[in-house]
Amino acid sequence: MPGAKVIMADVFGKSYDALDGSVQPQVLQFIMKMQRDPDSNGLNLKPPKGAKDKRVRTARVTDNYRAVLMHYAERIYYLVAVLPHDDAYDLAANILFDINKVTGGIELINLGSLYGTLSGQPKAAGSAEGTQPSFFAGVSDADFERLGVHPSIIPALREIRSEDAVLGIVETMPKLARDVVLCLADGMSVEEVWEQVSSLAATEDKIDPQDYEAAIERPATKEAFVVTGDIAEFGRILTEPLSAWRIFLHPAQRALAERKTPYKGPARVTGGPGTGKTVVALHRVKALAERLPPGQAILLTTFTTNLANLLKSHLKDLGGAQLLAKVDVRNIDKVAYGTVKETFGPEAPSRLKDSEILNRWIELAEEQPVQRYDGRFLNAEWKQVVLAQDIRSRDEYFAANRAGRGRRLNRPERAQVWSLIEEFERRLDREKAASVIQLAAQAARIASGWSDEERPYRHIVVDEAQDLHAAHWKLLRALVPEQDDDLFIVGDAHQRIYDNRTSLSAHGINIRGRSKRLTLNYRTTRQILAASLNLLGDSKFDDLDGNTEQLRGYRSVLSGASPETVRYRSPAEEMSALAKRVETWQQEGIKPQEIAVVGRTHAIADSAVQALRDAKLDAVKVEDYRVPDPDEGVHVMTMHRIKGLEYRAVAIVGASDQNMPLPSALTPETEDRLQHAADLRREQSLLFVSATRAREQLSVTWSGRPSRFLEPRTSR
Ligand X SMILES: Nc1ncnc2c1ncn2[C@@H]1O[C@H](COP(=O)(O)OP(=O)(O)OP(=O)(O)O)[C@@H](O)[C@H]1O
Query: Whole-angstrom Cα distance, residue 67 to residue 69?
Result: 6
Residues 612-651 as x/- pattern, contact with ligand X by CB under 6 A? --------------------------------x-x-----
Looking at beta carbons only, is 9 or 207 nearer to ligand X? 9
Looking at beta carbons only, is 118 or 255 nearer to ligand X? 255
By CB under 6 A, is residue 275 in contact with ligand X? yes
| Binder of ligand X out of 692, 699, 703, 707 (CB under 6 A) | 692
Question: Is residue 524 a known part of a binding site?
Answer: no
Cis ω before 661 (30° cut-off from 0): yes
HEC per residue, 467-536: HCCHHHHHHHHHHCCCCCCCEEEEECHHHCCCCCCCCHHHHCCCCCCCEEEECEECCCCHHHHHHHHHHC
Query: Whole-angstrom Cα distance, residue 668 to residue 672?
Result: 7
Looking at beta carbons only, is 160 or 249 nearer to ligand X? 249
Residues 31-50 as x/- pattern, contact with ligand X by CB under 6 A? --------------------
Residue 326 Cβ vs ligand X, minimum distance, rounded to whole Å = 21
Stretch that binds ligand X, among 2-10, 137-145, 276-284, 500-508 (CB under 6 A): 276-284
Query: Whole-angstrom Cα distance, residue 601 to residue 596?
Result: 15
Question: Is residue 126 a known part of a binding site?
Answer: no
Query: Whole-angstrom Cα distance, residue 600 to residue 663?
Result: 11
Helix axis angle, 436-448 to 470-479, nearest 10°: 30
Residue 282 Cβ vs ligand X, minimum distance, rounded to whole Å = 8
Stretch that binds ligand X, among 106-114, 147-155, 247-255, 654-662 (CB under 6 A): 247-255
CA 118 to chain CA centroid, nearest Å: 30
Question: Is residue 272 a known part of a binding site?
Answer: yes
- Residue 327, classed as helix, strand or coil, is strand
By CB under 6 A, is residue 276 in contact with ligand X? yes
Question: Is residue 104 a known part of a binding site?
Answer: no
Quick one: which of 52, 55, 58 has its CA closest to 110? 52
Stretch that binds ligand X, among 46-54, 271-279, 481-489, 651-659 (CB under 6 A): 271-279
Question: Is residue 271 a known part of a binding site?
Answer: yes
Looking at beta carbons only, is 3 or 219 nearer to ligand X? 219
Looking at beta carbons only, is 340 or 490 nearer to ligand X? 490
- C-alpha dihedral over 584, 587, 588, 594, to 10 degrees? 80
Query: Whole-angstrom Cα distance, residue 597 to residue 595?
Result: 7
Query: Whole-angstrom Cα distance, residue 604 to residue 571?
Result: 10
| Binder of ligand X out of 45, 249, 642, 698 (CB under 6 A) | 249
By CB under 6 A, is residue 574 in contact with ligand X? no
| Binder of ligand X out of 104, 174, 266, 271 (CB under 6 A) | 271
Query: Whole-angstrom Cα distance, residue 312 to residue 327?
Result: 9
- Residue 325, classed as helix, strand or coil, is helix
Residue 175 Cβ vs ligand X, minimum distance, rounded to whole Å = 8
CB atoms within 10 A of CB 147: 25
| Binder of ligand X out of 274, 349, 599, 654 (CB under 6 A) | 274
Stretch that binds ligand X, among 47-55, 241-249, 422-430, 475-483 (CB under 6 A): 241-249
Footprint on residues 482-501 left by ligand X (CB under 6 A): 492, 495
Residue 576 Cβ vs ligand X, minimum distance, rounded to whole Å = 31
By CB under 6 A, is residue 250 in contact with ligand X? yes
Query: Whole-angstrom Cα distance, residue 537 to residue 535?
Result: 5
Question: Is residue 274 a known part of a binding site?
Answer: yes
Looking at beta carbons only, is 544 or 612 nearer to ligand X? 544
Quick one: which of 326, 302, 628 has its CA closest to 465? 302
Looking at beta carbons only, is 185 or 529 nearer to ligand X? 529
Task: Return all residues near 456 (Cβ < 8 A) that are at least 6 apart.
Answer: 297, 299, 479
| Binder of ligand X out of 27, 91, 247, 653 (CB under 6 A) | 247
Looking at beta carbons only, is 247 or 686 nearer to ligand X? 247
Residue 281 Cβ vs ligand X, minimum distance, rounded to whole Å = 8
Footprint on residues 521-550 left by ligand X (CB under 6 A): 522-523
Question: Is residue 278 a known part of a binding site?
Answer: yes
Quick one: which of 442, 469, 481, 549 has its CA closest to 301? 469
Footprint on residues 114-153 left by ligand X (CB under 6 A): none
Stretch that binds ligand X, among 93-101, 246-254, 339-347, 381-389 (CB under 6 A): 246-254
Q: Check if the beta carbon of residue 480 is closer than 8 Å to that of residue 298.
A: no
Query: Whole-angstrom Cα distance, residue 195 to residue 101?
Result: 16
Query: Whole-angstrom Cα distance, residue 129 to residue 109?
Result: 29
Sign of the torsion angle spanned by Cα atoms 132, 136, 139, 142: negative
By CB under 6 A, is residue 450 in contact with ligand X? no
Stretch that binds ligand X, among 31-39, 148-156, 245-253, 623-631 (CB under 6 A): 245-253
Task: Return all residues near 388 (Cβ < 8 A) that are at least 6 apart.
Answer: 469, 470, 471, 502
Looking at beta carbons only, is 523 or 555 nearer to ligand X? 523
Looking at beta carbons only, is 148 or 273 nearer to ligand X? 273
By CB under 6 A, is residue 317 in contact with ligand X? no
Looking at beta carbons only, is 278 or 703 nearer to ligand X? 278
Stretch that binds ligand X, among 249-257, 348-356, 388-396, 536-544 (CB under 6 A): 249-257
Q: Check if the beta carbon of residue 685 is closer than 8 Å to that of residue 496.
A: yes
Looking at beta carbons only, is 56 or 180 nearer to ligand X? 180
Residue 247 Cβ vs ligand X, minimum distance, rounded to whole Å = 5
Looking at beta carbons only, is 278 or 435 nearer to ligand X? 278
Stretch that binds ligand X, among 26-34, 275-283, 289-297, 417-425 (CB under 6 A): 275-283
Residue 244 Cβ vs ligand X, minimum distance, rounded to whole Å = 7
| Binder of ligand X out of 24, 164, 248, 482 (CB under 6 A) | 248
| Binder of ligand X out of 83, 279, 315, 533 (CB under 6 A) | 279
Judged by CB under 6 A, the number of residues near ligand X is: 20
- Specify the amino acid at residue 319: G
Sign of the torsion angle spanned by Cα atoms 252, 258, 259, 262: positive
DSSP string, 407-463: S---HHHHHHHHHHHHHHHHHHHHHTEEEHHHHHHHHHHHHHTS-GGG---SEEEES
Q: Check if the beta carbon of residue 105 is closer than 8 Å to that of residue 218.
A: yes
Looking at beta carbons only, is 275 or 675 nearer to ligand X? 275
Annotated binding site for ATP: 271-278
Annotated binding site: 271-278
The footprint of ligand X (CB under 6 A) covers 247-250, 253, 271, 273-279, 492, 495, 522-523, 644, 646, 692
